[in-house]
Amino acid sequence: MLTRRLFLALAAFSALSGCSGSTVLSSMNSVETTRLVVLRHADRTSAMLNGAGVARAARLPAALADLEIDAIYTTPRQRNIDTATPLATERGLPIGNHVAITAPRRILTQHAGETVVWIGNQENLGLFYFSLGILHKPPVAFGDLHVITFEPDGRMSLLQKRRYGD
């Protein structure tokens, strides 16, 4: 069942974009595949990460050691930034912030042919997937992450499910 906030966000996205997820992806203009690593922030009990979340975030770099990461983005929420910080520190990358409704279009057009990490929240990951035309359930459990591969023409060719921080 859609919550009112999710419904309004989906309606706003549809009105703003005027297009489907496939149109968003068709603007990638790349000769290489693009990877998008998507995950929810680490464990929390209130607005901030709890001890388990801090420990899980510290293990995120090891879980992505096999991938060359080109950029890291989160929503402006502190728990998302705190989840991204160990990875950003290890890789020497800044953490960019985007509003979830505009993030997919910007990330895929600005980073075509690269590997980008997106750390979201339970309520915006569904919208994120919807805007990309991904029909799979997003990684909303703490420790779940997806590595999504897009072909140069924008088609999703692989969705790999992984865990981190266990």
Which band of pLDDT confidence, cut at 50, 70 and 90, is reported for residue 8? Answer: very low
Q: Which residues pair with 117 in a beta bridge?
A: 37, 72
What the block records as the tokens of 146 is: 């997806």
The type of residue at 137 is K
Domain ranges, residue 108: 4-163
Which band of pLDDT confidence, cut at 50, 70 and 90, is reported for residue 7? Answer: very low
In this structure, what CATH number is given to the domain that contains residue 55? 3.40.50.1240
Per the structure, the count of domains in the chain is 1
- Cα distances from 164 to residues 47, 101, 140, in angstroms, run 21, 25, 13
Is the pTM higher than 0.85? The answer reads: no
Locate all alpha helices (DSSP H) within the chain, ordered by sequence.
4-17, 21-26, 51-58, 60-63, 78-91, 103-110, 122-132
Model confidence over 19-77: pLDDT tens digits? 333 434 555 566 789 999 999 999 999 999 999 999 999 999 999 999 999 999 999 99
- Model pLDDT, residue 118: 96
